Amino acid sequence: MRKTLMVVVAVSLGSYGAYRWQASAPAPTTQEHEKLLKDRVWIDHMPKNERDKLNVFVALTPRPRQGPQGPFGIFESVSMWEGHFEAFRYESQGEEMRIVFGQTGDKETLTVKASKCDVQGMDYCLDISGNSRGVGRYYSKRGWEVRTVDEAQALTTTLAK
């Protein structure tokens, strides 16, 4: 009985120690967060068939040839047969992203948290709160980095098939 109690206590302490160690892992730096978040295609799931709509989020950083409009992004809902997107301009600082939708002038302040993960075969997770468009959780993979809207659209079209 005493040995059993000692084993239970040891396992409990070991589990608690592992939990505390994981919980104290350093958060990604602002630079790492920005690198994960921006210039990458994010989707909410892999489509199951050609009619299954996936939600897409992309935030592109400005490029010299883009001109003075600054950084912009897109919320999109798309299948192989149908799609709708809404573009926005944004400013960001750490996990805060202030966006303005170009068509309506609507403004939102989002909290965005990008991190490495291993969920459903994906390499990265993105949690967004404060948004009225899109969904709250997106996923991405290595190799889904993009530099232009055309690259993002080509990858999204491939994924929607």
Write the pLDDT tens digit of every residue in 83-133: 999 999 999 999 999 999 999 999 999 999 999 999 989 999 999 999 999
| CA gap 37, 57 in Å, rounded | 10
| CA gap 156, 152 in Å, rounded | 6
Cα-based distances in Å from 58 to 34, 66, 67, 127, 134: 12, 16, 19, 13, 11
Please, which pLDDT band fits residue 62 given cuts at 50, 70 and 90? confident
Residue 45 has pLDDT above 80, yes or no: yes
More reliable by pLDDT, 26 or 77: 77
> First-to-last CA distance in the chain?
60
For tokens 């929607």, name the residue. 160
Residue 17 has pLDDT above 50, yes or no: no
